[in-house]
A = this chain, B = another copy of it.
Amino acid sequence: MEQHSHGYAEDKQAILRRLKRAEGQVRGIARMVEEDTYCIDILTQVSAATKALETVALQLLDDHLAHCVAEAARSGGTVADEKIREASEAIGRLVRS
């Protein structure tokens, strides 16, 4: 796995902010459980945290297609095929999760 610049380099700060917020949401849910909050109100927060993570995933994927996959496609050959197969599998995991 390469360690240099990635597809999400430009959006890195925005993604980190979103993840910080999602982490806070999950911690907030734990606090609600600690404090015996009503189940339905907790579920609303769980749905919100799940959606926040999905938004991060879609942004990472978008950047990945726009940079890594597009670059591999320009190089062509088996690397391109491999990158596309890999992206398709990641999309499959997201759709099914």
- Contact A16-B30, Cβ < 8 Å, known A50-B54, A88-B61, A94-B95: yes
- Contact A30-B26, Cβ < 8 Å, known A40-B64, A40-B87, A96-B54: no
Copies of this chain, count:
4
A-B contact pairs, 8 of them (CB 8 A): A8-B33, A39-B60, A40-B87, A43-B57, A43-B61, A54-B95, A58-B91, A70-B80
A contacts, CB < 8 Å to B: 1-9, 12, 15-16, 19-20, 22-23, 26-27, 29-30, 33-34, 36-44, 46-47, 49-51, 53-54, 56-58, 60-66, 68-71, 73-74, 76, 80-81, 84-88, 90-97
CB distance from A40 to the nearest CB of B (A): 5
